[in-house]
Structure 1
Amino acid sequence: MITRLLHRFTDAASSRRGKFVTIALWLVLAVVLVLLAPSLASVYNNSAQNIPADSRSEVASRLLLKEFPSSKGTPAILVFSDAKGLSSDDLARARQVSDWLTSDQKPALVGPVLSIFTVPQAASQLQSEDKTTMTMVATMTGESSSQTFQDSVKHIRDYLKQTTANTSLEAHVTGPAGVVADAVLIFSATDVSLLLGTVVLVLVLLILLYRSPILAFLPLIAVGWALQVVNACLGFAAHAGLFSVSQQASSIMTVLLFGAGTDYSIFVASRFREELQYTEDKYLAMRTTMRAVGEAITSSAGTVILSLLTLVFTAINLYNSLGLTLAIAVAIMLVAGLTLVPALLVWVGRAAYWPFVPRYTPEVARESDVKSLKGFWGRLGLWTAKHRILATVGSLLLLGILALGNIGSVPTFNLLTSFRNPTDATEGYAALQKHFPAGTLAPTTVLVKLKGDQADVYQHLTELDAVAVALQKSTGVAKVQGPTRPDGAQPIVDPAVLQKGLASLPESLKQAIRSGKFTQQPTSGPGPCQGPTCQPVNPQQVALIGAFAASSTYVSPDNSTAQFSVVLKDDPYSLDGINVIDPLRSALNQALHDNHLDADGYLSGQTAELADTYQYNLHDTYLIVPVVLILVAIVLGLLLRSLIAPLYLLGAVTLNFVASIGACAFFFQHIEGQDGFNYAIPLYTFIFLVALGADYTIFLMSRVREEAQRHNLEDGVPFAVSRTGGVITSAGLILAGTFAVLTTLPLNILYQLGVCVAVGILMDTFVVRGLLVPGVVLLLGKWNWWPGKLNSVVSEPESSHEEELMAEV
């Protein structure tokens, strides 16, 4: 029933009148959508929350913003460094920057500034011990994805460059704000270059492979047409808030659309050229073509779409939004492949293959069936039939050896190593890392929320200092700052004494200190106290006031929540840093219990968020991998009408994935010296290789079944390999080439994805489809079609397709 509907659909799209209707409909649709839809670039969302709102780090982040409103914003860390030591001239220039950032001339989104000039008592935290490096923290307000945010960071960098020009003082902007600004800047120039690079590569490959300029342009026209429709649909969806579309997702969508769309075009064009030799009428030839490959293209695209839609059920937004974006793109390309591509081809007809125009020569064409076995793929098919065990075992050994590269491979979450070229943020971090604990770049915030209506941090300073001690002893912690140790050093005054002393301060005095209205009375010398909140003080009270002022930074305005800033020894974006979070959380909970504090503990910050991302990534991987395999198995089972074939075909695709990841892991870590895979690469690669690999599996196995109907399985496999080898090779080279274009982009995640998918597709093309699958098919024989029988697959002797189609007309 479905097959018959599909045949009617494709028949109508490429008929004598239908081709013009099809082309006109696509033209009108593209023009209307492009005119009405918002530009996709205008609705990019590159800052969407990546993990669920109920994750522990996100809950902690919301609590931090609620209890400490001043913490809202994205910190920009300004790093000043002079290898000779910071001179008085260097410090004067740094003061100039600090004064500018706190003046009316500062950039629009600059908020509070922490420096040795605004808070002198923080000098020990902001200056390195060797006095060569100093930091300054400017909190950037507003959305990090906004243009105003980018302009503000750029303004700071320009001012630093101007202030330090012609001196030995180096200054950089790093930290979360610097990293985000660099990422946005890099992405801003990728859309056009990626599109042009993909188009040029596909065009060159098509001309080299098919030596026909007209045929080279037809797939590009169809894919470009479909791309306009896809961009418009995504623009509407993102604008309506149905789901977010990031620039990264758009980049991957572009290469996938060109790769898959060109593959579908090649499948149609190759079979159409073959049928033109058997059928004089080009419309009948196209009907035969689409009836032969339409089901395979639909099944392969359906497999890709179903695989991508499984990403909707993931927890990480990086996967979730990508799945919908790519599924919509492939679905639209499928419709174009079944309608627009055949309509354009049949309109141009035999001229599409100029200068190698296929002629109507049925007798010669049938003779070429035998001659085709003398070509490379025909010879390979015959060799595989003769040496099926060697072909199977040899390819399994090769893939198994490559899979060994996975030993020792590790995921990486490091945002700083995500840039392939040095940026201002990475250079600033390199300077910071030499002279400060690596965790200074992004400290982890620990929150202790006391329970009860009368909760007061200042009544539990002794217990909270014990919590700070426990956190300090936790593995991988360099320094802990909190209410009793604002500079991270051992408290000078015993916490119990401090707690008693602070309790003696008048409440009005505390409020004045927190509001910044307190003016201290000199302990000696002339000078009357100024201001209504001025208090006469003695030296002991001066010390208490200073202690309270320093502690208030780490206590919420309502005194219910204490904050600790935990600086890690390791890079806060590294796997070593991430692995500190769980022991730190356990240490916190144990310390709260041991000190009998009725409170809840939370961990916030980028490292805590990455730790949650790590766990959600494992969850998503364990969920998606089996679901995708089951879905692909169902599609293959329905198409091949077998329970056995899907099992070994999926096994081959999965082994190819593991081998590809292994080979690339070895290359990235041991040859290039990278610190590992971006955490998203394995699941991305799995989805693409299994789903796209199914394209070639379906195309090959459909032809094996077809040739088995004409011959027997022993003879049919070499013919199938011969007939599909060139097509699959062309499609594989183009698909691998389009993904390889991603390696030209300056972001490591796209570079690694491009390499992994390109390598996997090439191995799938030459090893899996050329040797492994044909070898296994021949070894299993009649069991390929179980529970069916080989006789049920073999049909009547070869008959004329043209006569059958003419009878239907």
Structure 2
Amino acid sequence: MKKFTKFISHHPKIVFLVMTALLIPSFLGYKLTGVNYDILTYLPDDLKSTQGQKILDSEFKNAATGMLILEGTDHEAEMLREEILKIDGVEDVISKSSTVGDMIPQEFLPDDIKDVFYGPGSTLMIVKFSDSASSFTTMAAIDKIKSIDSPDKYLSGISSLVKDTKDIIDKETPIYVILAVALGLVILSLTNESTVIPIVFMLTIGYAIIYNFGTNVFLGEISYITKAIAAVLQLAVTMDYSIFLYHRYVEEKNYTEDKNEAMDIAIQKTISALFASSLTTFVGFIVLILMRLGLGKDIGLVMSKGVLIGLLTTVTLLPAMLLLVEKLVTKYNHRVLLPSFDKLSEFNLRHSKTLTLVFVGLFIPAVFGSINTKLYYNLDRSLPQDLDSIVALNKMKKDYNMATTHFIVVKDDLSNSSLNALLDGLKEIDGINSVLSTNSVTGVTLPQEFLPDKVRDNFAKGGYQMIMANSKYQTASPEVREQIKKMRSVISKYDSEGYLTGEAVLTDDLTDISSQDFKMVNIASIAIVFVIIAIVFKSLGIPIVLIAAIELAIQINMGVPYYINQTIPFITSIIIGVIQLGSTIDYSILLTNRFLHEYEISSDVEESLRIATKETSKSIVTSALSFMAATIGVGLYSKMEIVSTICTFLARGAIISMAVIIFLLPALISVTFPFIKKTTKGLN
């Protein structure tokens, strides 16, 4: 380790050049990393809904579909259909003419056909894409469909939703980074004595972020949520490392005139503390891989990797940069705009029992609010309502009484009587307003075997029959959940191996899995962090007290939406708790560690707490404000409610954690010290 730190501190130019050269392969890796914009693809493979989706994709090329409404005549619709069929990435376009031909007038069509394909002054077509909903081919095909000259048209469906999501994220992500950096620089400039230091910190973290995104190429692809928040989150949670190392370097310069030697000592004395500090943050992210929902693994791997890369960059690149700009740092010094916190430490100790009662009392409204916070699972709700896909979806609901489409896949050797009974059973379920299958066509024209191959392949292929059931109920609504239960019951009567899938069904499974994931990851993160703190402090009492403090902060944060009547995206409730725990538990560890150090010297609990509160509050406030600054801008700016809500929660969570630690934790330690003393090894 000494050879490593000596090389870093005595060869800053070489280190800087090597680290800069590494940006080239990292940038190439970033460009080669795919992005998945469809959350539903992260559902486990063992679900029947995802298995049914794979059959739709492989056999019917139907996993990615779009509902296209054209405000025009049958003739205009047929012309548009022919143009769309020429587009690369379009497998087929199902319309009235492609299903029953042009010879049958509209008034003679059965209700099943008429209800699906005709609305007030408009015609509906079902566009089947050859690739997945989030593939580049499908995205390009949607752009080409929109560019075709025709009467007004509206394209809805998961593919269109994914396309709009992609456009927003691609446009907004660079702005997220700019906002995080700009606001972070403001806070760091106010809380550090040099104007240059914040710029060095940001450059160091910028390098680390590029390395992290570049190494994502080994994962193949990342989710759009990860892409949107990873840079901002990495900036927020790893800023502490730079602050800690720099402060130690400044301290060591007081004892030696050789700046290189001072940096060498600073790295040696800081690296183990930084590793310990990063461990809880790393755990907070890595525990997300335990989720059944693959999105957790995606965020967990990228962010835990980002924490490690941030740590390595801090002990290599940051020292080199600091040494290279040493003269500029001293040239642009200014006064630090932070209070001394003397009065705070005195207040804490003077009212320790009262503050402890406040601490305990806050748990009641916090937990109540957290438990009763409402979640939503329908993806379209997180998007701006003026997007093309949302406008089209609302038109589908209004003109066709069709909010979502279910797909049923059954064996093709199902008898006609069983199939008809299945179709009748589906039609009788509340909210199902039309059912489309081969029988919808053959009931009007010919026996199934006389249908054209292209038409028959849309509904029967590869040993399976596909049925489309259109519902007036919205995805993730209580009504559609009940509808799905009834549909599964009907399908199982006639084909025990039948599959029910589609956006609403996948979202229903997402709801159940997310609820399980929420409980599991929170329990796992608390347990692992508890063990880490217990080992670090050789104590049973300290982890109980520290985790209780952070859990209060988390419960307050998660309870706020209930009291302001806000419904939040489901993913927020899963990841915020573990991230806030992992990234802000450091505040309590820093204060407690300083308290124990002072107690060893004086054996005076109150004096030790006074010094610890005074000396660590500046670092805690600086860290929390930096965390907030890196995330609040994105929270206020983003039009993507999932991204906006996550970042708002993170910003608010950092401030709440800071407040609990510096206002309530010293009092709590004071009151519970007899318990801590009995359960901590070596504490006299």
Q: In structure 1, how many angstroms separate the alpha carbons of the residues matched to 2:204 and 2:139?
A: 37
Which AA in structure 1 matches 2:52?
A
Structure 2 match to 1:303: 280
Q: Which structure 2 residues correspond to residues 328-407 of structure 1 after superposition, within 5 A?
A: 328-345=305-322, 352=329, 355-356=332-333, 375=339, 377-398=341-362, 400-406=364-370
Correspondence for 1:435:
399
- Secondary structure of the residue aligned to 2:91 is strand
1:446-471 per-position Cα deviation (integer Å, ceiling 9, x unaligned): 23327xxxxx33xx333333333333
Alignment partner, residue 111 of structure 1: 91
| Partner SS, residue 781 of structure 1 | helix
Match of 1:123 among 101, 114, 121: 114
Cα 1:342–1:36 change in 2 (3 A) is closer
Aligned twin of 1:760: 653
Task: Name the CA distance, whole Å, in 2 between partners of 1:421 and 1:707.
Answer: 57
| CA distance 1:783–1:385, change in 2 (3 Å) | same
> Aligned residue for 1:41?
31
1:425 aligns with 2:366: no
- SS of equivalent to 2:55: helix
State the 1:754 CA deviation. Answer: 0.6
Tell me what 1:137 maps to.
126
The 1:314–1:295 alpha-carbon spacing in structure 2 relative to 1, beyond 3 Å, is same
Query: In the alignment, what sits opposite 2:468?
Result: 565
Q: 1:23 to 1:246 in 2, by over 3 A?
A: farther
Q: Per-residue CA shift, 1:17-55, capped at 9, x if unaligned?
A: 641436633531441452476341332231573122221
Say yes or no: does 1:513 pair with 2:513.
no
CA positional deviation for 1:105? 8.1
Counterpart of 2:511? 614
Aligned position for 1:540: none
What CA distance in whole angstroms lies between the structure 2 residues aligned with 1:511 and 1:471?
24
Instruction: Determine if contact 1:296/1:698 at 8 Å carries over to the other structure.
Output: no
In the aligned structure 1, how far is the partner of 2:190 from the partner of 2:334? 16
Deviation (angstroms), 1:324: 0.9
Query: Aligned residues, how many?
Result: 668
Q: Does 1:644 align with 2:582?
A: no
Question: Within 2, Cα distance between the matches of 1:724 and 1:126?
Answer: 68
Residue 207 (structure 1) shift = 1.3
1:774 aligns with 2:666: yes
How far does the alpha carbon of each residue in 1:672-718 deviate from its partner, in whole angstroms, 9 at most, with x for none? Answer: xxxx3222111210121010012212222222222223332211111
**Bigger Rg, which one:** 1
TM-score, normalised via structure 2 length: 0.88
Judging changes above 3 Å, is the alpha-carbon distance between structure 1 residues 403 and 73 closer, same or farther for their aligned structure 2 residues?
closer
Cα distance in 2 between the residues matched to 1:179 and 1:28: 43
The range that moved more, 177-186 or 565-574, is: 565-574
Write out per-residue CA displacement over residues 376-395 of structure 1, whole angstroms, 9 at most, x where no aligned residue.
52211111111112222224
Matched residues in 2 for 1:745 and 1:286: separation? 40
Q: Structure 1 residues 781, 290: closer, same or farther in 2, change over 3 A?
A: farther
CA distance in 1, matches of 2:334, 2:473: 65
Measured against aligned partners, the alpha-carbon deviations of 1:331-377 in whole angstroms (never above 9, x if no partner) come to 0111223343345446655963555589xxxxxxxxxxxxx9x9552
Quote the residue 1:156 is aligned against.
145
For 1:410 and 1:398, how far apart are their aligned partners in 2?
20
Q: Helix, strand or coil for the counterpart of 2:36?
A: coil
Q: 1:465 to 1:100 in 2, by over 3 A?
A: closer
Return the offset for 1:246.
2.9
1:157-207 alpha-carbon deviations (Å, 9 max, x no partner): 233xx434xxxxx43221122112111111222332222222212112211
CA separation in 2, counterparts of 1:353 and 1:659?
Answer: 42
Is it true that 1:58 corresponds to 2:39 in the alignment? no
SS of corresponding position for 1:779:
helix
Shift of residue 782 of structure 1? 3.9
Specify whether residues 357 and 343 from structure 1 end up closer, same or farther in structure 2 by C-alpha distance, changes over 3 A only: farther
Matched, 1:317 2:310: no
Matched-pair contact (CA < 8 Å) for 1:480–1:565: yes
SS for the counterpart of 1:726 is helix
After superposition, give the CA deviation of every residue in 1:562-607 in whole Å (9 maximum; x if it has no partner): 4332222311254543453234313432x33xxxxx6522212122
The unaligned stretches of length 5 or more in structure 1 are: 81-89, 165-169, 359-371, 451-455, 493-497, 517-548, 593-597, 795-809
Q: Report the alpha carbon displacement of residue 136 of structure 1 after superposing the two structures with TM.
A: 2.4
What is the DSSP-based 3-state SS (H/G/I as helix, E as strand, rest coil) of the residue aligned with 1:321?
helix
Q: Per-residue deviation at 1:264?
A: 1.6
Q: What's the CA shift string for 1:88-124, capped at 9, x where partnerless?
A: xx534x7335313314884322332233454454333
- Structure 1 counterpart of 2:579, one-letter code: F
Q: Closer, same or farther in 2 for the Cα pair 1:175/1:390, shift >3 Å?
A: same
CA RMSD of aligned residues (A): 3.3
Partner Cα distance (2:498, 2:63) in 1 = 22
Q: Contact (CA 8 Å) 1:483, 1:553: kept in 2 or not?
A: no
Seq. identity, %: 19
Query: In 1, are the aligned partners of 2:237 and 2:281 still within 8 Å (CA)?
Result: no
- Quote the residue 1:85 is aligned against: none
Match of 1:72 in 2: 62
Structure 1 counterpart of 2:589: 698
Instruction: Give the 5 Å matches for 1:342-741.
Output: 342-345=319-322, 352=329, 355-356=332-333, 375=339, 377-398=341-362, 400-406=364-370, 408-420=372-384, 422-439=386-403, 442-449=404-411, 456-457=413-414, 460-474=415-429, 476-482=431-437, 484=439, 511-515=449-453, 556-557=460-461, 561-574=464-477, 576-589=479-492, 591-592=493-494, 599-667=496-564, 670=565, 676-711=567-602, 712-741=604-633
Conserved? CA contact 1:77–1:138, under 8 Å: yes
Maintained 8 Å contact 2:576/2:650? yes
| CA distance 1:205–1:646, shift in 2 (3 Å) | same
C-alpha distance in structure 2 between counterparts of 1:483 and 1:111, whole Å: 19
- Between stretches 199-208 and 223-232, larger displacement belongs to 223-232
Please give the alpha-carbon distance, in whole angstroms, between the structure 1 residues aligned to 2:260 and 2:13. Answer: 16
Counterpart code for 1:300? S
Choose which of 92, 96, 102 in structure 1 pairs with 2:82: 102
**Structure 1, residues 279-313: CA drift from partner, whole Å, max 9, x if none?**
77656765775566544422121112123222223
Q: Match for residue 362 of structure 1? A: none
| TM-score between both structures, scaled by the size of structure 1 | 0.75
CA distance in 2 between partners of 1:335 and 1:617 (Å): 33
In structure 2, the residue corresponding to 1:688 is in which secondary structure? helix
Say if 1:573 and 1:610, in contact at 8 Å, map to a contact too: yes
**Alpha carbons of structure 1 residues 124 and 37: separation in structure 2 relative to 1, 3 Å:** closer
Note if 1:326 corresponds to 2:307. Answer: no
Shift of 1:423: 0.6
Separation of aligned partners in 2, 1:446 and 1:686: 37
Q: 1:477 to 1:100 in 2, by over 3 A?
A: closer
After superposing the two structures, state which structure 1 stretch, 171-180 or 118-127, moved more.
118-127
Cα distance change on mapping 1:783 and 1:108 into 2, 3 Å: same
- Give the aligned partner of residue 205 of structure 1: 187
In the alignment, which residue of structure 2 is the partner of 1:533?
A: none
Pair 1:258–1:700, CA change in 2 (3 A): same
Per the alignment, residue 103 of structure 2 pairs with none
Q: Which amino acid aligns with 1:127?
A: Y
**CA–CA distance in 1 between the matches of 2:26 and 2:303?**
22
- SS across alignment from 2:11: helix
- 1:315 alignment partner, SS class: coil
